[in-house]
Structure 1
Amino acid sequence: MSSKIILVLGATGGVAFSALRRSLAAGHTCIALCRNPSTLSSKFPDSKPPSNLYIIEGNAHSIPDLTRCLTLPNSTPVTHIISSIGSWPSLSSGFSLEDPQVCEKGMTSLLSAISAVRSTNNNLNNWYPRIVAVSSTGLSSVKRDVPLLYVPLYHVLLKQAHKDKKKMEDLLIGSSEEDWTIIRGTLYVDGKEGAKERVIRAGKEDPVKKVVEREELGYTITREDVGRWIFEQCVEEKQEKGEYEWKRRVASITY
């Protein structure tokens, strides 16, 4: 398997860090854009990140910051972008999001940064990195993708977060030229690094044609295993008959 160059956004979170850790161990070069680089560094033994990781201080909503991260210092462009940014509900604001447009603004800025790099570098006119965007189940406009028990939870407590993630998804789905995969994990729970690996089931949807190609319903999955699935199926993805299975597809993953 050839070496990849992977930009990770939201790298300190459970999903993205799981994918990042596995990608580094596999020998891929990774770039992490962080508001506080020390937070990510502290996750590694002795707070010493491996040599194949570049940590860049910046904001995932800043087009100039993102543009700096889309190529290595030698101008080699990234091959994959894993975006797992999000906002936490705030108790002081009645469990509303600290930033109710965090995902929408992040994807808008990312697509603008990619376009800017293409337009300023003739060698990258046909550069289409795989964009892997972490979203949530409960957003399908084709068919219900969560158990009935979850419907009230998703439509009430998670309404604001889902509205933001849906706008993020729509930006990707509407970008006809980009290469993307949307990850909709079912309800996330904590899991320990190194825990016994469980079988992950993945539903498959074509949101452009509005077709569910494979249906899988479930209740939970750990953030650790969402990251594992992203690494195995998107970073290390193999072609089947000249095609990538998850290109321009939505994966609904669960146990």
Structure 2
Amino acid sequence: MIDVVTDLTEDAFLGGQLLLKQKRTGHRAGHDAILLAAATEAREGDSVVDLGAGIGTAGLALARRIGGINLCLVEIDPELAALARANAAANAIAAEVVVLDVTADAQAFAAHGLTPDSADCVLMNPPFNDPARHRGSPDQARYTAHVATDETLHAWVHAARRMLRSNGVLTLIWRADGIADALAALSRGFGSLSILPVHGEAGRPAIRVLVRAVKGGRAPTRLLPGLMLNDESRVPKKEVRNILEGRAVLPLVEP
């Protein structure tokens, strides 16, 4: 049994609908996880896997919006996994928490019940900083959560593809300047892509992309109008506040 660390903060997400404990230092949950949840489509009864779940933010936010999903939170760090488990219990959300490296083989996944062709939906916020361009944090947990190798995204997409059923949906968030890497990783086994650029400020290049991909999908790729987080005065836009507070979803969620 892993003891949950004691140097924690309790932070409100979704306008107070979700209260999560997280470490005061190191990697901390933020807007990316909530945007990922708001971009993820699922229905009651679906089997949903959150890869690299951290303290559970994205998966638990999705479960708060869509009741009755069968949620599994996969996290490599036992300490963060313990926090995810505690956060699920504190918010009365049913979730299985698995301590597992996303790059592990199929046998390791199956040992935790994550067998091939078993998931309806996978969401993930992989480490995406290029170690050649971004100075890694001396905090090992923060470094693991943020810094990618050349194979990171391909390995994570491969794990998602293996778990998803035919026509199952993968939703991911990635850095915008790495969109070519995301498209390359998704070119094998996925189609029907929908891509949403996310801009920090109006008139500035996108900083993130949210991508919805269907296993075996064949529909043409859709590039959606960009989401502007802040207006010209650097004030969060009303539509973004609604998303972050759980009152709206992103257009990647099909009606």
- TM-score, L = length of structure 2: 0.50
Higher strand share: 2
More helix by share: 1
